[in-house]
Amino acid sequence: MKFARFYPIFLDIETTGLKPHEDKIVAIGIRVREEIFEDECEVTTDTKIWLAEEDGKYSEEKELTALLELKDTLQSLMNFHRNDGRSLLLVGYNIGFDLGFISARSAILYYKYPKSGDLNLKQLLRVRKALGLAGLLRELPRVDLMHIISRYWLNNGRAKMKDVCSALGINYDDCDGSEIPKLVEEGNWVAIEEHLKADLYRLSHLYSILKLQGLIAHNLRVRYDLFDCEVDLL
């Protein structure tokens, strides 16, 4: 029996709106199934978040940095899990929105930077690296929990994560994603970070439920033609 082994990476972003040519990414977060990252106090954690914030305000430079940090982190995880034969599996709720927004913003930020002598070689290579993020994200297999819930629980109906979590008794008493633009305007980056952390936890919780039902494995078999494989999920 052949095995298709996957290591889930929960991905979510916070934006100021729905249009990447007008709006910004203000926070990017990922969560893994074990404690492998380190924070400033050298305490291991399962979540990593990058804020596009500097001195309490949105920073285009910090947005670019967040995109580059995401790329470097995913590349490191890919290299690490290549040794145990696992592929990274991107997991999100309406993840197509996140991937599309990230792809568009990485291109927009790249082309907004000057390509003349204003940047030294190191800076130019750093900015150019942002363009590679879109391809990396599209190469990785992914699972959209919204799609699975809509198809298998709601007979192709649609539901917001907040409504699904409320029905399952999963805590959702922090701010709503629609409040992010106001929080950015107020400079309340703590609330933005806490909401993103909570959303990543909720993604992990929903994934665990759907995994136990066999729906994650089924979705992967159908999407990637893995019917001759045993799907192994962490």
Which residues face 14 on adjacent strands?
A: 27
Residue 37's pLDDT is 67
A 10 A CB-CB count for 219 gives 20
Which residue carries 């929960």 as its tokens?
10
- Burial of 26-38, coded b for 16+ CB within 10 Å and e otherwise, reads bbbbbbbeeeebe
Q: Is 157 helix (H, G, I), strand (E, B) or coil?
A: coil
Residue 129's pLDDT is 81
Q: What is the pTM of this model?
A: 0.92
Q: Is 65 helix (H, G, I), strand (E, B) or coil?
A: helix
Question: Is the pLDDT at 28 greater than 70, yes or no?
Answer: yes
- CA distances to 34, 63, 189 from 26, in Å: 25, 7, 9
**CA-closest candidate to residue 234, choices 64, 2, 4:** 4
- Strand 57-58 and strand 53-54: the pairing is antiparallel
Residue 126's pLDDT is 74
Q: Is 2 helix (H, G, I), strand (E, B) or coil?
A: strand
Q: pLDDT tens digits, residue range 174-189?
A: 888 889 999 999 999 9
Q: pLDDT tens digits, residue range 77-115?
A: 999 888 888 999 999 999 999 999 999 999 998 887 765
> What mean pLDDT is reported for the chain?
90
The answer to whether 31 and 207 are in contact (CB under 8 A) is no
User: From the centroid of its chain, how far is CA 184?
Assistant: 19
Residue 63's pLDDT is 95
The secondary structure element, H or E, covering residue 47 is strand 47-51
Question: Is the pLDDT at 116 greater than 60, yes or no?
Answer: no
- Weakest mean pLDDT among 46-60, 93-107, 147-161: 147-161
Question: Is the pLDDT at 228 greater than 80, yes or no?
Answer: yes
pLDDT band at 215 (very low <50, low <70, confident <90, very high): very high
- Weakest mean pLDDT among 15-19, 30-34, 162-166, 181-185: 30-34
Q: Using CA atoms, how far apart are residues 65 and 67, in angstroms rounded to an integer? A: 5
What is the Rg, in whole angstroms, of the alpha carbon atoms belonging to the chain? 18
Residue 120's pLDDT is 66
